[in-house]
């Protein structure tokens, strides 16, 4: 079974990134997928974001959605502002490295 | 021998990406290189694209050029519109994961 | 101990990239980190660049900063124009592949 850690950094390409995540799951239904939102893309996982419904749909499909605390802090986003179900890690970049160390494949969208 | 799967997503940086592919081959002449074009960059592998000659040159140099069918479909690009020699996969992102699982190194341009 | 090779390509997102590098080191103080600047981001490692002090700070923190000679050549940047301590490789993309072959994890910022 494939395990894939996906990095999404840029809020301007977040729609494309979510579409690509869905394409990945469609093609590999058994894959375990974790998507890390950091830098400006952190805004995608805030309640009321333009892509809130698509983020929830990803989670309904079994994807783990992760927010970077560093990115939240520098944009004054608090935990309670995140879409329900989104997990938090201290540093998104470290999470991506750690997952690779655990044998996950890496995909930057 | 190195095997490298290259991801090209953004049509606006496709010239730079092709230059970097050529630099990679110059430096590692024995490497096996596959370049996956998806998202907006799919337009680069369509006949008559601004970089058509450079894409053909990559293939002449031994690079496998791959188009993402999901990206084609969402932009109404048909198989016969692709530059001759370009291969098609269902999902570019899944191809990148699959190649990593086969031991290829990953490069996002 | 983690070894991480970081790719920085775009001068427009170089500030974010440096911040993410610092976040990575903060979270993983024992990690060995090499940051490869290529394409337009090569301008970040030139003396007098807007981020010169931040580049020097990265090196003081133990990060290896690498410049791509292909990117220098195409922008007429000479060795003596680089910030002191920056190393040079022939092709940044080949360096990233080589590091992966040596077991380093890959991160594109």
Give the residue on C whose Cα is nearest the Cα of A38.
C20
In this prediction, residue B109 carries a pLDDT of: 98
Q: Which of C7, C10, C100 has its CB closest to that of B105?
A: C100
Shortest Cα distance from B23 to chain A (angstroms)?
21
Tell me if C4 and A90 make a contact (CB, 8 A cut-off). no
Supply the range of the domain harboring residue A77.
Answer: 3-108
Beta strands in chain C (DSSP E): 3-8, 32-37, 64-68, 87-89, 105-108
Average predicted confidence (pLDDT) for chain A: 98
Rounded Cα distance, C10 and C42, in Å = 8
Tens-place pLDDT, residues B46-64: 999 999 999 999 999 999 9
B17 Cβ neighbours under 8 A, 6+ residues apart: B6, B8, B35, B41, B109
Of C19, C26, C107, the CB nearest to A97: C107
CA angle A90, A94, A99 (to 5 degrees): 115
Dihedral of CA C68/C72/C78/C84: which sign?
negative
The residue in chain C having the minimum alpha-carbon distance to the alpha carbon of residue A69 is C23
What CATH number corresponds to the domain at position A53?
3.40.1260.10
Q: How far is A93 from chain C (nearest CA, A)?
A: 6
pLDDT of the residue at C1: 84
Please report the pLDDT score of residue A12 as a whole number: 96
Instruction: Find, in chain B, the residue whose alpha carbon is nearest to that of C100.
Output: B105
pLDDT one-digit tens code per residue, B1-47? 899 999 999 999 999 999 999 999 999 999 999 999 999 999 999 99
CA distance linking residue C88 with residue C34, whole number of Å: 12
Q: Which residues touch B73 (CB under 8 Å, ≥6 apart)?
A: none
In whole angstroms, what is the distance from residue B13 CA to residue A50 CA?
Answer: 26
Query: A103 — contact with chain C (CB < 8 Å)?
Result: no
Residues A28, B97: C-beta atoms closer than 8 Å: yes
Summarised one tens digit per residue, pLDDT across range A20-49 is: 999 999 999 999 999 999 999 999 999 999
Q: Which pTM value belongs to this model?
A: 0.97
The per-residue b/e assignment along A7-43, b for 16 or more CB within 10 angstroms, e otherwise, is: bbbbbebbebbbbbbbbbbebbeebebbbbbbbbbbb
DSSP state for residue B83 in the 8-state scheme: P
Q: State how far the Cα of A43 lies from the Cα of A92, in Å rounded to an integer.
A: 14
Q: How far is CA B55 from the centre of its chain?
A: 8
Instruction: Count up the domains in chain A and report the number.
Output: 1
Integer-rounded Cα radius of gyration of chain B:
13
CB pairs under 8 A between A and C: 46
Rg (chain C; Cα; Å): 13
Q: CA of B99: which chain A residue's CA is closest? A: A105
Contact A79, A88 (CB under 8 A): yes
- B12 has a chain A CB within 8 A of its CB: no
> Which of B2, B26, B109 is opposite residue C91, by nearest beta carbon?
B26
Contact (CB<8Å) A23/B100: no
* Chain C hits for B109, Cβ within 8 Å: 9, 93
- DSSP-based three-state secondary structure for A9: coil
Confirm or reject contact between B3 and chain C (CB < 8 A).
no
Residue B21 has a pLDDT of: 98
Classify residue C7 by its DSSP letter.
Answer: E
The per-residue pLDDT for range C23-80, each reduced to its tens digit, is 999 999 999 999 999 999 999 999 999 999 999 999 999 999 999 999 999 999 999 9
């Amino acid at each position: 079974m494939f395990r894939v850690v996906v990095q999404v950094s840029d809020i301007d390409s977040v729609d494309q990134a979510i579409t690509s995540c869905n394409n990945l799951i469609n093609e590999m239904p058994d894959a375990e997928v974790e998507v890390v939102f950091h830098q400006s893309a952190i805004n995608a996982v805030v309640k009321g974001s333009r892509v809130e419904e698509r983020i929830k749909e990803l989670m309904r499909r079994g994807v783990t959605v992760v927010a970077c605390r560093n990115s939240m802090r520098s944009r004054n986003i608090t935990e309670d502002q995140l879409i329900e179900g989104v997990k938090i890690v201290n540093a998104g970049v470290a999470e991506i490295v750690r997952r690779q160390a655990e044998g996950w494949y890496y995909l930057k969208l």
